[in-house]
Structure 1
């Protein structure tokens, strides 16, 4: 397997460095995604610098998602107007302001402002960074490099879970801000996307960039392929309605909506935000909630790392299907346990089943459903509408996350806890079937070849599975 060979780092080191520096903001975003879990108990304490009511705590969680919606128009505009690289740097500046606002907060409005600014940062960064990665990466390792952004986010969640309970809010803010500062200092030395440079007719600069990224002077064939793709894609209109009116773009949108919807309605956000409650209701004494909160994202990181290392070897679709099956079974197991408990069965001696199922869930969900979508979304849209497509993907991601969490809370309020897991299990199984039928395999394909598949050129159909 190529990515495991020592030569991988010498042949692709330039791409790897650019991707790592371009995704440092994802670590910061991961810290902010998990920030409320260890921080709200601190804000409730008598010596908290900010006194808060319960409703203000709820708004503190919601405003992060609100920031994501505010960031959508910036994502659409900046990525094509100033380029992928500058958009990433702009997002980092906004994120630093957010962390500073939280770090110096002496009232709740500073916290609100910080959460909104960091939500804006996450939306812009998770639109620009995947596009940047997909356009600088060689097709043989594009899936591996694209998956790194999710690994970075998981690292951020682990960091905040590890330090959050034991350091001040100001200290954790300094850590998050420092990551973005490192990116602002080092990432400017990295190249802009050769696709974008050719798109704005900076041909000589694009050739130099591609030689640097490929560590090879023989890039004439790839340059010509990119130029041909740019010429064709420039001939296509880039209006927002073209995301739905052009058949290939409409297929890309439907696939993207399916993938982003599936990961959240498989319950990933609900479990991340309610893990302590689930373990406590199960009566599990296998491990304390604080330790489980570290083990859970750690297993996610390990699983996502394995998926990232194998996505260009095994393919995107097989990871999605295996992940869908494992996730469905674990959700069904958790639901069955709580159903038996609600019916009066003595489940005390078997509470370890919940801990095991939840940890298998962490492995299963991150093996495919929560790692492959960002890889494929960056591959599916042509250059002319890629910014709008990625922004739409992010909108669906945010909306699905909010809706799934609300659905989980509403079901638990009106019915038994087991019902929510049965619902998530059913939706996950249904989505896995749709993925098998309609999602194409993009492993080893150039971005141009993927467009040809979506356009159904030369008899290739959407569910092409030749690779």
Structure 2
């Protein structure tokens, strides 16, 4: 899992800070998946807040609206109060939302809680990846950065199980406990050294770096961080610099495509319409709540495996393999539905969609569903990182909505196989885009990545050490 020559004591402070800082991600995963088991509850006869199907589905929409509404606040917070405090604000807001949900007397309070939880989740998934990328040793940055996504998947699996098989109040209680632990424990963790240097708090940055590296010799790394921040400060960090500066422009293009392709590879459609897709198969039936738990469990297995390999195989290899395998899986499913809709007898192979759905959960989360969040925190310079990552997050939410709408229109007008053709082509195209345009960031410091985006030849420090080259 870890690179050779790294002592566990050197890594432990970074691991602890990452875990404590991403407990809110578990809560956010629960928030994301909460409506799946709760919509049947609110539209059923035994609910304490009666809703129509449209009113219940609105809880999904207001959560996305909250994420959009929180973008300006997120941009300001991560640079003004810092990564660490932004993560604490997000966890505190998340805790309040779960309290509101557990005691909500009507649907209006639920809507407000879902809206604010969307804002909190947005801040979490911008501030936390920034924090992790800036505190992590470059040799394990991929693994640590992927933990936030694993936490979110744990949250989805947790809410699928507790929401479907336990009482209404159980998921909110779990959310309150998780966010409360972060609020109480995370303040004792150090702030990002990059942020402290960027705000001219050099002594605090040195202390933070020593704590994160287990009191090892950090003089050289501190000098490197200061040089990197000084060089990046020559680029003003204005919103228009995302377009005017070629390296930033390349970064935002890469992130727009990565975040867009995730949804046009069908992940939102799969998660939100799994029971419909299985029902379309014809004869194989899996109870929706059981299928959801299996699907979420396989996603977690795929992402966990990938997180252990990301610093060994690299980002590009995982993206390419995931794109190709997911494209093949979707292609098989598309062919099945096309033949079925064309009138062919596919009863004897009606197990294919169910098998493909579960295979999809594994192949997608092994690369396409994990690597983008790691790369997002790596390819933007410190001065523009808040704006760049927030825009990337906005694109992610927007593409989720667009992909679902396109799926719905094409499914209802032409059949389920038509949108799946689009998803298949997008997956396979992503493999070519990755090979040609996405830089490999494995083993490189954040400054080395910026130099590479500018077209300069960079020898990673890990390779310099292996080859006996002096590290300047």
After superposition, the C-alpha distances for 1:139-190 in whole angstroms (9 at most, x for unaligned) are 0000000000110000000000101012233322111121111110111111
Name the residue aligned to 1:94. Answer: 93
After superposition, the C-alpha distances for 1:6-27 in whole angstroms (9 at most, x for unaligned) are 9753330100000001110110
Is 1:318 equivalent to 2:317 in the alignment? yes
Name the residue aligned to 2:363. Answer: 364
Greater CA deviation, 451-460 or 197-206? 451-460
Name the residue aligned to 1:250. Answer: 249
Alignment of 1:280-295 (within 5 A): 280-285=279-284, 287-295=286-294
Name the residue aligned to 1:441. Answer: 440
Greater CA deviation, 407-416 or 374-383? 407-416
After superposition, the C-alpha distances for 1:65-116 in whole angstroms (9 at most, x for unaligned) are 0010011011100000000000000011111121122111221111111110
TM superposition score normalised by structure 1: 0.95
8 Å Cα contact 1:2-1:8 kept in structure 2 = no
* Whole-Å separation in 2 of the counterparts to 1:172 and 1:139: 36
* Whole-Å separation in 2 of the counterparts to 1:61 and 1:161: 15
Alignment of 1:105-116 (within 5 A): 105-116=104-115
Name the residue aligned to 1:17. Answer: 16
8 Å Cα contact 1:284-1:354 kept in structure 2 = no
Name the residue aligned to 2:74. Answer: 75
* Whole-Å separation in 2 of the counterparts to 1:173 and 1:456: 49
Name the residue aligned to 1:188. Answer: 187
What number of residue pairs does the alignment pair up? 459
Name the residue aligned to 2:419. Answer: 420
* Whole-Å separation in 2 of the counterparts to 1:436 and 1:174: 45
Is 1:63 equivalent to 2:62 in the alignment? yes
After superposition, the C-alpha distances for 1:248-283 in whole angstroms (9 at most, x for unaligned) are 110110011111111111000100001111111213
Name the residue aligned to 2:49. Answer: 50
Name the residue aligned to 2:39. Answer: 40
Deviation at 1:241? 0.8
Alignment of 1:379-398 (within 5 A): 379-398=378-397
* Whole-Å separation in 1 of the counterparts to 2:437 and 2:81: 35
Q: CA RMSD in A?
A: 1.6
Greater CA deviation, 283-292 or 153-162? 283-292
Deviation at 1:286? 6.3
* Whole-Å separation in 2 of the counterparts to 1:138 and 1:92: 25
* Whole-Å separation in 1 of the counterparts to 2:274 and 2:457: 49
TM superposition score normalised by structure 2: 0.94
8 Å Cα contact 2:37-2:289 kept in structure 1 = no
8 Å Cα contact 2:302-2:366 kept in structure 1 = yes
Deviation at 1:289? 2.7
After superposition, the C-alpha distances for 1:403-462 in whole angstroms (9 at most, x for unaligned) are 1111111111111111111111112222221121110101111111111011112499xx
Gaps of 5+ in 2: 460-472
8 Å Cα contact 2:320-2:430 kept in structure 1 = no
